[in-house]
Structure 1
Amino acid sequence: MTSFAPDSIVLNRKLPLWYQVSQSLRASILGRAPRDPLRLPTEEQLAGHYGVSVLTMRQALKELEVEGLITRHRRRGTFIEPSARRGAPVRLLGSVDAIVAQQSGMTTELLDQGKAPVSGELAEFFPDVAEVATYHRLRSDETTGEPTNHARNYLRQELADRIDREDLIRWPMTKVLRDVLGVGISRITDTVEATLADPETARLLQVPLLSPILRYTGVIHGTDGQALDVAVIHYRGDRFSFTVTLDAH
């Protein structure tokens, strides 16, 4: 039987080797093609592939076994769980409706709300105000209850004064602004980057510290061009991917 072939990585000696190997192997498992074999190479082969000791490799595999991504059988080998797969991708298709639809199938908990001074990176978007309203929400899969992302929204106060708390639990901010408040939206600027889970994100999303995370920044602009809302969302890297579709015509 052919074994699954994991991707290669360059290890950082400042982080635990077993952790880096487990993260790389996790990404390979979750990103595998449907027809890829389920059997992993032996511990010795994997250790050689990553350039680590068998003991380190064993610790990395143990982590994946605890997560339910693999099963280990004496004399038979180590196998990927067929149910281990990446979650539904976040698709940025160029429409507000696509962004709103992406949040369907999730439950939302409003963790806190308040106010924050406009400083640092926010100053670029709100150069005309000193303070903005803030909302912090945690979204979870409606079926499994597993946390998928946590979002911080920074909103002009005059808009926040019109928002009902229950609407923020029921809908994404984009829908609240456009469909509930009737605010005109001219465009949304999206930025996606890879980062590592800080202590807060690791706790909220129930992932290991420094595990791969997708950081999404979305800026909603009104019809006058001003930024109305800035959303900073941290997605679990093992549950989401981003796809951008460009029309070539």
Structure 2
Amino acid sequence: VPIELTSARTIYRGKLANVIFIRDITERKQAQEKLQVLYEQERDIRQQLEEEVRKRTEFTRALVHELKTPITPVLAATELLLEEVKGERSQKLVQSIDRSASNLNRRIDELMDLIRGETGMLPLNLMPVDAVSLLRDIGYEMTPVALRDGYSLTVDLPSSNPVVSADRDRFRQVVMNLLNNALKFTPPGGEITLRAREEGANLSVEVQDTGPGINKEDQKRLFDPYYRRVEDRERLSGLGLGLALAKSLVE
């Protein structure tokens, strides 16, 4: 039986004496052993997860490299063909190839950015940015796209011109990802709003749409890479990286 001994000095019948206390610490030892087992289990699980993340990152990095290598000459070749091909039908075929190759190249770049974000290696070029001017330009660019697909796009911006410290290209990328996500999930005839508000020294930017909404279970995984709701897996193209990348860039 595990015991704990403690002693204390006291006066007993006018004389200095030592009092010894003996305590059964069986329950304490059992609790400590259980905690140690739980700690070791948690450590093993954490190491396994870290190893899985490392393997996934290495695999994705290798995949990106393998995809990027052949797509670069394809893009260069289609650019040359567009200058040389004369017939209308041939022009359309080459343009179709160019659009598909460019789309694949964007997907590869998204994968690359996601890997860099997860490993803390995503470069940011911070500088003063006229946020309202940038958001207004994005609105002008996306309005024809929204109208073509049957949506209305409203841009609601402050009258002032706040300057924020940001990477201009990444800022634009985040907003574009949010808008493209809204376009995917808003039914035709719906409304999309790009809004910015000054909140003290900060600028809050949000995208609102009239889509069907997101249930609580899906909200928990909304920013997970590659995640798609079951009902959207057949309907939507892409890798499901837009929101995950936006979150990584913001963080």
Q: TM-score range by the shorter chain?
A: under 0.3
Q: Which one scores higher on RCO, CA 8 angstroms, separation ≥ 6?
A: 1
- Using the size of structure 2 for normalisation, the TM-score is 0.25
Give the number of the structure whose alpha-carbon radius of gyration is greater: 2
Instruction: Choose between structure 1 and 2: higher helix proportion.
Output: 2
- Using the size of structure 1 for normalisation, the TM-score is 0.25
